[in-house]
Structure 1
Amino acid sequence: MADSDIPVIDPNGPELVYMVVADHIAAQIDDGRLQPGDRIPGELALAGAYGIARMTVARAVRELRERGLVHTVRGKGTFVSRPEA
């Protein structure tokens, strides 16, 4: 994830921060920058990249899991899910 690609996040703005992050990662999956099976960066790395708290990243990843876009393997990381046929 290039630094220039990170959206500007306004913590005082009307959008929920975790949704901005989840939508940004979802867009990367939709446009093919993240492929099925790709590992997304860990929570600490994403928190640093986006300049937000780790718990906010955790909520964003949970949102992506709920959308069926990623799955987490304990001890391995979070990966882009394969589209269902």
Structure 2
Amino acid sequence: MADDDMPVIDPRGPQLVYMVVADHIAKQIEDGRLQPGARLMGELEMASVYGIARMTVARAVRELRERGLVITVRGKGTFVADRPAD
């Protein structure tokens, strides 16, 4: 995830870390940098990129699934969901 606008993650700050990560990925989807069908990097790689625990990444991905922005296919990975027709 080569991204110039990486969020500032402060575990002691008022924002929930998983929400900061989920919002960052959601913004990339909204901006079109992550297209429908694009595969997100794996949890371990994402944890390394963001400098957070894998369980925190898992919670961020769950948040994105709950928002309907991504789907996870067991054994294949997590992908940006198709956008609903307007």
1:9 is matched with 9
Once the two structures are superposed, the pairs formed by residues 55-74 of structure 1 within 5 Å of their partners are 55-74=55-74
Deviations 1:46-80 (A, max 9, x none): 00000000000000000000000000000000000
3-state SS of paired residue (1:72): strand
Deviations 1:11-63 (A, max 9, x none): 00000000000000000000000000000001000000000000000000000
Contact kept? 1:3, 1:49, Cα under 8 Å: no
Once the two structures are superposed, the pairs formed by residues 41-80 of structure 1 within 5 Å of their partners are 41-80=41-80
Give TM-score scaled by structure 2 length: 0.95
2:82 is matched with 82
**1:4 positional shift:** 3.3
Identify unmatched segments of 5+ residues in structure 1.
none
Distance 2:29 2:76 in 1: 19
Q: Higher helix proportion, which one?
A: 1
Segments of 4+ moved more than 3 angstroms:
none
Q: How many residue pairs end up in the alignment?
A: 85
Give TM-score scaled by structure 1 length: 0.96
Distance 2:3 2:20 in 1: 16
**1:7 positional shift:** 1.1
The letter of the residue matching 1:59 is R
1:32 aligns with 2:32: yes
Identify unmatched segments of 5+ residues in structure 2.
none
